[in-house]
Structures are given as structure tokens and as C-alpha cells.
Amino acid sequence: MSNKKYAIGIDFGTESGRAALVDISNGQEVTTAVYAYSNGVIDEKLPGTNIKLEPDWALQDPNDYIEVFKTTVPAVLKESGVDPADVVGLGIDFTACTMLPTKADGTPLCFLPEWRNNPHAWVKLWKHHAAQPEANRLNEIAGESIFSELLDKYGRKISSEWFVPKAWQILNEAPEVYDAAEKLIEAADWVVWQLTGEEKRNSCTAGYKAMWSKKDGFPPSEFFRLLDPRLENIVDEKMSRDIYPLGAKAGGLTAQAADWTGLLPGTAVAVANVDAHVAVPVGTVTTPGRMVIIMGTSNCHMVLGDEEHLVPGICGYVEDGIVPNLIGYEAGQSCVGDHFAWFVENCVPTAYQQEADSRGLDIHELLAEKAAQLKPGESGLLALDWWNGNRSVLVDVDLTGMLLGATLATKPEEIYRALIEATAYGTRMIVETFEEYGVPVEEIVTTGGLPNKNPLLMQIYADVTGRPLYIASNVQGGAVGSAMHGAVAAGKAAGGFDSIVEASQKMASLRAEHYTPQPAAKAVYDQLYAEYVTLHDYFGRGGNNVMKRLKAMKAEIRAS
């Protein structure tokens, strides 16, 4: 043992899981390791079968999550040479809502031969959107009932990505799976269960994704009965009313989990958290007025407030949902990094890839370099950032992308820049909605993969939003935030901390470089944003539902 103490954070993402070994004294990432899920995102057919999935499905294999523990934690211990006795705590964060059906002992139904070929027995990933009919029905029924106010804190719309619509889809389409499931549980809580042997459900996913509140608990059984009589007792039969606060200790590592990881049995494990929410204190944000954007395949926008405000179209707000004693507000965009990846994978000419290869550049670096030579507005292009639907503020997965202004002279870098600008406009829409309804956003702190890769994107966001953008020092916001919560679960007596605010003060910092709005660019973007708002409202608020008609036509023809 040494005087130095460490914590490990594990960030379960969409394609992989990443562990970071973090020095508790300063938040330094000593070393990291990544495990790419062997089955990745399951969206075409079930592994090892010819069973095809319908559109908008996105599943995962829970065995991949166990492999993350078995692979990444031993790797960071080995590379660092840190004594496991000096690791005081471990925390995890997860995409959400990512949920699965299990037996009473936590065995996933998809591990059992009799259920393995049923898609509903697998993990439903956050971006599984096939429960949209259930979400639509929930919003319709709740909105016209005595329970209408339940929707207020979620922007008046429950998303198809969330827990109840996904559970209801299982019940509607595979009632035999629903009946066999003795537990329906967030994957975040399931992995903590595997580490500790304790089923401890966290307040973050419960609050933001399953309609739970610290004051009132879950909606009453009468609400679920109104949705569907078969759902009346879902909380007591399939879930749990015991909800635990962020930073609490879920338990200690079991002997089996210690064997998987190489850590000592009994090592403190924190109650689970959500990937976006856990990153907020990593950005030094523990007070109101500063937005944290976790920028990656999607964007999550997190803001703290002193009081409750009903903000339409946000993902929700939860008391103590991010840090204690404050209201945590969440909004988001479903398609950001995925937006750029789609373009690169499907629309970039061979000549561009050859140029990138010859210069030793990533194709995104080449496109960003060429796009940076363009002036705002020079391309004549404007895009809507809905390639994966709209999360905030329209909350509609049936909306689709659009590019306007293309000609025979349009170049790839112009489209690439227009897609970046579109995501920045989407963020500005979210920021302005927050402010209109009483939640101030004075500056923006960013974390995640994109801020460290794409200076052009960062400058565009500053110019479009008219706010300075800062970058968290830690590249792995999720993993480091999880490590912070692991240190809090351990407590000061064990070498950790007694609160996440204290952990943030010691372990979080911002980089010196930052981005400020350029007045000339902002003036152009103000004009372009006004055009974006016109298109946003016309296609997104019922002026013309052509996107939905086309999507429905596509589904009908493909099914025929």
C-alpha cells in the first residue's frame, strides 16, 4: 500500500465500456482501458440467429457488460502498477434508459435458452425507439387525465426511449416475456447488482427515465392501470420502490466480482449513475447558471437550478438528480457525432479518403480542415439535425433529417460544416428554451469525445449560441465522474470524500483554452438560426408532417 489513493470509474457507452483509474488527490487519469462490445449495437438481427429485427430496434447483450469488468479493470491495474489495496472505490455510469428483463436472481432472460431467440428478452438500448406507439399512447392518456401534471416536469412528453414505454412494448408484443420477467431493471443498476450482489436502484435513472420523484415516489398504481390494466402493479411486481441517492454506497465487491476485476473483495461500489449526469461535476459545475454539454454520438445538456421551472420539451428535471440540494435539468439531441459519422460513411468521395490517407489524417480531420476555410453562410446550406429524431425540444423520434440549399456545386466539406452548424442550432434552441422558462445559461462547459477532437465545432457552437465554451480537463468525463462517485461511496475515512461537491473541488478542472463568440460570425449565424427556427417549427410542430408520412410509407413498403 502507498499513501496515494485511487478510484476506478467505468463508463458504459453505446459501443464500448471504458475504465479509468483516477488519482483521488487531483483527478488525474492515470490510465484507461476500453472493451468494445463483441455484439455492439444489435439492430439488424439477433446474434447467432437469422431472426431479423424490425425498424427502430436497438438491443445489446448483457454479457458484454460483464466482459467490460473482466477486461478493463485488470488492464488498468496492470498498466498502472497500482496496488488494488490503494483503490478505495469504484463507480459506474451507463447510457439510459437502457433496460432489461431478468429473473429474481438477476439472470437476464436472454441468457436462458428458452428466451434467447425472443428479441424482447434482450437489453433494450437507450436508442431503441420501437416503443414510440406506447409513448404516444402514454402521453395521450396521461395528458387527458387527472394525472396530466405528471408530464409537466418532463416537458409534457415521455420519450419512447424511457422505461415505461419500453416495458409496455414488452407487455404488448411479448406478454410471455413480461410474465417471465421477475425484474425489469436499468442496465446501470443491473451491473452494480453483479458487482455487489445487492439490487440498489439509483435515483438518477428512476427520476429522469421512470417518472419517479424524491417527493412523491413513482406515479400511483391508478396511473398505470389507466394506461393498461396489466401495468397496474408494475412497480411492485417488476421494479422497486427502494431508490438510493447518487454517491451512496451500493455495497462492496463480491468475491466473484473481485476475481473478475483484480480488486479486493469489499471495495466500495457506488450507486449507479447516468453517463451524462455523472459528467457534470467533472466540468467543475456544482452551482446554477452553467450548462454542461456532454458531446459525443449525441448531446446531453445539463443545467442546475435553485428552484423548479416547467420547461417544455426538456427530458426532465429531478431534485438531487445531479448534485445534492439542487434541481437537475436535462435536455438533449439524439444525433450529433452519429450525424457526422453517417455522412463520412455514406457520402464522402474516394478522393477525399485518399487525400486523408496520404496526409496521415483521419477523414473527419480533413473535412474539418476544409470546412474551417469556409465563412459562415458561404455554402448557402442549412440542415435540420434530426437524422435520429429530435429529443429536445420537440421530443419526436419520427422526425428526420433535411439538407436545404444544395446545388451541383456543393462540396462535401460544405455539407459537413452545415451538419455541424445544424447541431449547434439545435443546442441554441435548447438554451433559449431554458432561459425563456426561467433557467439561466450564462456559459457552457463541454466534455466528452468531440470537444477534444474538433476545434471547428467548438468555435461554431460558441458563435451560434453567443456564449463562451470551456472544456473539462478530463477527457473521459463519464469514467472520471464515476470514479468521483466511487470515491464518495468510499467516504473520507477510507481516503475518499464525503460529498460530490468536495470531490469536484479536488478532482475537477478546466483547460486553459476556451472559445468565445466572434461577433461577425455570430451576426451571420443569427440570420441562419432564424431560418432554422422557421424550418424547425414548420416540419416539427405540425405545419407539414411530410417527414412522418415518408417514414410511415417506408416502413409499410419494407414490410410488404
Listing DSSP states for 284-340 in one string gives T--STTEEEEEESSSEEEEEEESS----TTSSEEEETSSSTTSEEEEEEES-SHHHH
Please write the tens of the pLDDT for every residue from 378-417: 999 999 999 999 999 998 889 999 999 999 999 999 999 9
3-state secondary structure at position 494: helix
Lowest mean pLDDT among 80-89, 316-325, 438-447, 507-516: 316-325
Q: Grid coordinates in use for 101? A: 428483463
3-state secondary structure at position 427: helix
Looking up cell 468531440, which residue turns up? 450
Please write the tens of the pLDDT for every residue from 332-341: 999 999 999 9
Residues 211-231 have a mean pLDDT of 97
Instruction: Please tell me the predicted confidence (pLDDT) of residue 448.
Output: 85
Q: Grid coordinates in use for 273? A: 449513475
Q: How far apart are CA 536 and CA 540, in angstroms?
A: 5
Q: Grid coordinates in use for 168? A: 409496455
Please write the tens of the pLDDT for every residue from 448-490: 889 989 999 999 999 999 999 999 998 888 999 999 999 999 9
Q: Are 154 and 74 in contact (CB under 8 A)?
A: no
Please write the tens of the pLDDT for every residue from 242-264: 999 999 999 999 999 999 999 99
Residue type, 66: I
3-state secondary structure at position 3: coil
Residue 229 has pLDDT above 90, yes or no: yes
Question: Band of the pLDDT at 155, cuts 50, 70, 90?
Answer: confident
Lowest mean pLDDT among 82-86, 98-102, 292-296: 292-296
Instruction: Please tell me the predicted confidence (pLDDT) of residue 1.
Output: 67
Report the mean per-residue pLDDT for the chain: 96
| pTM to 2 decimal places | 0.89
For residue 342, with 0-12 CB atoms within 10 Å meaning exposed, 13-18 middle and 19 or more buried, which class applies? middle
Torsion of CA 83, 86, 89, 90, to 10 degrees: -20
Can you list the domains of the chain with their CATH numbers? 6-277+477-507 (3.30.420.40), 285-471+518-560 (3.30.420.40)
Exposed e or buried b for every residue in 490-516, given b needs 16+ CB within 10 A?
Answer: bbeeebbbeebbbbbeebbbbeeebbe
- Taking the CA atoms of 194, 199, 200 and 202 in sequence, report the sign of the dihedral they define: positive
Of all residues in the chain, the percent with pLDDT exceeding 70 is 100
Residues 345-360 have a mean pLDDT of 98
Q: How far apart are CA 377 and CA 417, in angstroms?
A: 10
Residue 2 has pLDDT above 80, yes or no: no
Residues 531-547 have a mean pLDDT of 98
3-state secondary structure at position 126: coil
Q: Grid coordinates in use for 163? A: 422505461
Residue 168 has pLDDT above 90, yes or no: yes
Residue 266 has pLDDT above 80, yes or no: yes
Residue 18 has pLDDT above 90, yes or no: yes
